[in-house]
């Protein structure tokens, strides 16, 4: 039965099932058959229908759906939750063939599918169909109820597909994981086999998908978790082996100016920020700041909360003057509050991915991501958180997520692996000191940027959020009241020093004024003396002239020496100076 | 089809070209009509290869399918009609 390898390279078509197209390297084989096997409720029909719808919507490839088990109306109604708009598609691009045989039908001999295939062929031609689904092939086989006829009809379908060039998807219900031996030929006949499995582990339901065979192509053979979200089925893969992201130097504000400075401009666009801390350390408030700043820039933002309802978040951050209501109203901000739902976190991440695709945000907050910590999660979901963050990074979305932890060395940080994924890690802790609790913010790491290594005190008030310097005194970091006291003391000391300086200045001014006054007195005195001297000189001159003439006359008369006369005159002129001094100082 | 009103049985047989089951069904149906309905019938054979739209309109899924339109109730049979017992039972002839 094994066909010789295809001469032309194998063409693949996308199913639109995220993850499946990656692990198969492009989707299901074109012009061949793919068999989807699984128990009840595994999502076989969703798988097949999604591939069909994807073709119709994204690749303009109309398709046919042959419903052996459920009625077409039921299928269309069931798929309504996925928003595929089937009623519109059925007008031009999709055709549903009701192929359920009513139980009243009497079987009177052998039958075959020749007529049906003729009908389908006509319809395919009319639509230009490229894909076809035979949903519930097991129902048809059960009706044929004859091993020879079963094989014959299945081969008929295969040959018909080969002749028409349609790509076929067959779904087959199997009980349990092992397929019924009687229908095992189906697996040999088709080119690609996918099994879906439903299992319950510790009371939690998990759905997995595995590609069992793919002729002419390599594929990842492991089992992968699948989830059915509001947009359809998706597969959680490990993501691309290569880490490749667009890198930008653009900085965006954290919403806290001081923190922007500490990070040398803010968060890097498209990176992953982790804010960790104990309960009540204002992690959500920091998220709120980031969201408000993003919305203010006009960027679409998604806030995912596992803690509180949207209204509560808005009210809480309003208490520190962060206004989010208007952005929520304008549609820029979507707050999605949800509960953690048991250990199967795959579903939750798939749900979040769908939300992200729907809202198309540039900034995302997950508060807290540790709600989806893998501590509880199933092994298969081990790296679900990483994959989700990877997905966001791939889209260039800036993510701020919070994590509940008391210290940096807790298990949680390493278990989720968030700390390694995070590009920037901010830790907020409590510092208990002198009977009070204060919030201290530090930047643990920030890739690709220098950052402050100082501890800052995070203060929340009615006016908003601020970061304050902390003081180190006597080998201790001072915060809260201690810091306030220290500040008060500093201020008092400064004041004291100011007063002292002022006093000193006044003293000096006084001394200067005194000196100036003294100078004035002396100047006046000098002037007075000069005047006195002038007067005296005048008087003395006249007197001495008289005396000189007198004495000369006397000398002439007595024949005395000249020297004696001069000496006498000098003693007489010094006399008034010594006499005036005590009188002047008395005036002061 | 004014004459059809007088007939007791109106049967429609949907077939697919020369497929062995279809060829056999036509032969079986004709033989059965002659033997059990003695001419009080009309047997309409519709080849879906030529009229695929009829299958969609009449809700035919597999071939061959025999539909007893009258007398009511409407009854459908699938298969090449080799199982005569089943056919007679279903048509109310036994």
Distance from CA of A131 to the nearest CA of B (A): 19
Band of residue A215 on the pLDDT scale cut at 50, 70, 90: confident
CB contact under 8 A, B16 and A118: yes
| pLDDT at res. A584 | 47
Question: What would the mean pLDDT of A75-103 be, rounded to a whole number?
Answer: 86
| pLDDT at res. A290 | 93
Question: Which residue, among A441, A298, A442, has the nearest Cα to A363 in the 3D structure?
Answer: A298
For residue A122, give the nearest of B16, B52, B79 by CB distance.
B52
| pLDDT at res. A380 | 47
Band of residue A586 on the pLDDT scale cut at 50, 70, 90: very low
| pLDDT at res. A176 | 56
Range of lowest pLDDT (A195-199, A234-238, A400-404, A428-432): A234-238
Token pair of A463 as six digits: 């006016």
Over the stretch B17-54, which tens digit does the pLDDT of each residue have? 888 999 999 999 888 888 888 777 888 899 988 888 88
Band of residue B3 on the pLDDT scale cut at 50, 70, 90: very low
For residue B80, give the nearest of A100, A105, A110 by CB distance.
A110
From CA A337, how far away is CA A250, in angstroms rounded? Answer: 30
Chain B: residue whose CA lies nearest to A153: B62
Query: Where exactly are the structural domains of chain A?
Result: 12-235, 251-469, 484-585
Cis omega (within 30 of 0) for bond into A368: yes
DSSP H or E run through A125: helix A114-127
| pLDDT at res. A588 | 43
For residue B14, give the nearest of A101, A110, A115 by CB distance.
A115
Band of residue A193 on the pLDDT scale cut at 50, 70, 90: very high
Question: Which residue, among A238, A254, A316, has the nearest Cα to A291 in the 3D structure?
Answer: A254
CB contact under 8 A, A106 and B24: no
Scanning the structure block, which residue is given the tokens 């208490």?
A319
| pLDDT at res. A373 | 60
Pairing of strands A301-305, A333-337: parallel
Give the total residue count for chain B: 94
The secondary structure of A258-273 as a DSSP string is HHHHHTTSSEETT-EE
**Which architecture characterizes domain A12-235 according to CATH?**
3-Layer(aba) Sandwich (3.40)
Contacts of B53 in chain A (CB under 8 A): 122
Question: Which residue, among A297, A286, A282, has the nearest Cα to A260 in the 3D structure?
Answer: A286
Domain that holds residue B28: 3-91
Q: Regarding predicted confidence, which is higher, A476 or A513?
A: A513
CB contact under 8 A, A121 and B83: no
B16: domain CATH number is 3.40.30.10
For residue B63, give the nearest of A106, A114, A122 by CB distance.
A114
Contacts of B49 in chain A (CB under 8 A): 115, 118
| pLDDT at res. A504 | 92
Interface test with A, best of B22, B61, B88 (most A CBs within 10 A): B61
| pLDDT at res. A585 | 45
Over the stretch A99-133, which tens digit does the pLDDT of each residue have? 888 888 888 888 998 989 989 999 999 989 999 99
A53 touches chain B (CB under 8 A): no
Q: Regarding predicted confidence, which is higher, A354 or A519?
A: A519
| pLDDT at res. A295 | 92
From CA A176, how far away is CA A500, in angstroms rounded? Answer: 92
User: Cα angle vertex A313, ends A311, A319, to 5°?
Assistant: 105
Question: What would the mean pLDDT of A306-313 be, rounded to a whole number?
Answer: 85
CB contact under 8 A, A115 and B64: yes
DSSP SS3 for A115: helix
**Percent above pLDDT 70 for chain A:** 83
Q: Inform me whether the pLDDT recorded for A493 exceeds 60.
A: yes
Contacts of B11 in chain A (CB under 8 A): none
| pLDDT at res. A447 | 82
Band of residue A194 on the pLDDT scale cut at 50, 70, 90: very high
CB atoms within 10 A of CB A376: 14
Residue A425 class from Cβ within 10 Å (0-12 exposed, 13-18 middle, 19+ buried)?
buried
Contacts of B81 in chain A (CB under 8 A): 108-109
| pLDDT at res. A200 | 75
DSSP 8-state class, residue A181? G
Residue B43 class from Cβ within 10 Å (0-12 exposed, 13-18 middle, 19+ buried)?
middle
Scanning the structure block, which residue is given the tokens 């003057």?
A321
ipTM: 0.88
Please state the domain count of chain B.
Answer: 1
Q: How many CB pairs under 8 A join A and B?
A: 107
CB contact under 8 A, B55 and A116: yes
- Asked if B54 and A151 touch (Cβ cutoff 8 Å), the reply is no
Q: Inform me whether the pLDDT recorded for A583 exceeds 60.
A: no
Over the stretch A463-491, which tens digit does the pLDDT of each residue have? 888 888 776 666 667 777 777 787 888 88
Band of residue A98 on the pLDDT scale cut at 50, 70, 90: confident
| pLDDT at res. A1 | 47
| pLDDT at res. A570 | 57
| pLDDT at res. A573 | 54
Domain boundaries A251-469, corresponding CATH code: 3.40.50.300
Chain B: residue whose CA lies nearest to A103: B76
From CA A281, how far away is CA A286, in angstroms rounded? Answer: 10
Over the stretch A525-566, which tens digit does the pLDDT of each residue have? 899 989 988 888 888 777 777 766 777 777 777 766 655 555
Q: Cβ contacts of residue A106 below 8 Å, gap of 6+?
A: B75, B76, B77, B78, B86, B87, B89, B90
Pairing of strands A223-229, A204-214: antiparallel
| pLDDT at res. A36 | 92
């Amino acid at each position: 039965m094994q066909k010789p390898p295809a001469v032309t390279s194998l063409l693949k078509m996308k199913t639109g099932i995220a993850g499946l197209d990656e692990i198969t390297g492009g989707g299901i084989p074109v012009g061949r058959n793919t068999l989807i096997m699984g128990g009840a409720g595994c999502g076989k029909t969703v798988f097949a229908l999604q591939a069909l719808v994807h073709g119709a919507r994204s690749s303009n490839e109309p398709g046919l759906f042959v419903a052996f088990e459920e009625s077409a109306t039921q299928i269309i109604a069931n798929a309504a939750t996925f928003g595929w708009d089937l009623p519109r598609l059925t007008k031009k691009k999709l055709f549903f063939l009701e192929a359920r045989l009513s139980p009243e039908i009497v079987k009177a001999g052998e039958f075959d599918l020749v007529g049906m295939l003729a009908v389908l062929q006509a319809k395919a031609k009319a639509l230009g169909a490229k894909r076809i689904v035979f949903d519930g092939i097991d129902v048809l086989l059960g009706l044929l109820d004859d091993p020879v006829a079963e094989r014959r009809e299945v081969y008929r379908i295969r040959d018909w597909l080969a002749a028409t060039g349609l790509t076929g998807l067959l779904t087959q219900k199997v009980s349990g994981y092992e397929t019924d031996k009687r229908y095992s030929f189906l697996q040999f006949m088709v080119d690609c086999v996918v099994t879906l499995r439903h299992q319950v582990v510790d009371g939690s339901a998990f759905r997995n998908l595995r590609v069992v065979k793919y002729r002419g192509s390599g594929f990842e053979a492991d089992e992968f978790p699948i989830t059915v979200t509001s947009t359809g089925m998706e597969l959680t893969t490990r993501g691309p082996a290569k880490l490749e992201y667009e890198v930008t130097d653009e900085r965006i504000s954290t919403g806290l100016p001081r923190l922007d400075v500490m990070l040398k401009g803010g968060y890097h666009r498209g990176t992953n920020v982790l804010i960790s801390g104990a309960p009540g350390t204002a992690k959500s408030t920091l998220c709120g700041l980031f969201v408000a700043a993003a919305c203010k820039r006009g960027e679409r933002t998604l806030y995912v909360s596992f803690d509180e309802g949207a209204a509560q978040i808005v009210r809480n951050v309003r208490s520190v003057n962060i206004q989010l209501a208007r952005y929520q109203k304008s549609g820029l901000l979507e707050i999605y509050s949800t509960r953690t739902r048991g250990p199967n976190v795959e579903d939750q991440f798939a749900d979040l991915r769908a939300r992200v695709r729907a809202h198309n945000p540039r900034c995302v907050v997950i508060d807290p991501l540790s709600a989806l910590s893998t501590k509880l999660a199933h092994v298969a979901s081990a790296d679900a958180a990483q994959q989700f963050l990877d997905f966001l990074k791939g889209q260039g979305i800036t993510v701020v997520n919070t994590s509940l932890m008391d210290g940096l060395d807790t298990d949680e940080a390493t278990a989720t692996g968030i700390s390694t994924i995070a590009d920037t890690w901010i830790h907020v802790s409590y510092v208990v000191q002198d009977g009070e609790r204060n919030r201290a913010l530090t930047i643990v790491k920030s890739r690709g940027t220098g950052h402050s290594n100082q501890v800052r005190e995070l203060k929340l008030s009615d006016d908003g959020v601020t970061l304050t310097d902390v003081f180190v005194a006597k080998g201790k970091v001072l915060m809260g009241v201690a810091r306030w006291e220290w500040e008060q003391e500093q201020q008092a000391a400064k004041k004291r020093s100011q007063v002292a300086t002022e006093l000193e200045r006044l003293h000096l001014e006084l001394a200067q004024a005194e000196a100036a006054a003294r100078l004035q007195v002396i100047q006046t005195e000098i002037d007075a003396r000069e005047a006195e001297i002038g007067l005296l000189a005048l008087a003395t001159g006249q007197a001495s002239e008289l005396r000189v003439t007198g004495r000369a006359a006397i000398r002439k008369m007595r024949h005395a020496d000249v020297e004696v006369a001069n000496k006498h005159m000098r003693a007489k002129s010094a006399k008034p100076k010594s006499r005036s001094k005590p009188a002047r100082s008395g005036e002061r | 089809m004014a004459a059809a009103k007088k007939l007791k049985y109106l049967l429609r047989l949907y077939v697919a070209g020369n497929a062995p089951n279809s060829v056999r069904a036509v032969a079986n149906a004709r033989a059965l009509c002659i033997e059990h309905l003695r001419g009080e019938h009309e047997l309409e054979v519709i080849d879906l290869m030529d009229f695929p739209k009829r299958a969609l309109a009449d809700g035919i899924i597999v071939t061959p399918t025999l539909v007893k339109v009258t007398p009511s109730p409407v009854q459908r049979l699938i298969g090449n009609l080799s199982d005569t017992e089943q056919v007679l039972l279903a048509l109310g002839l036994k």
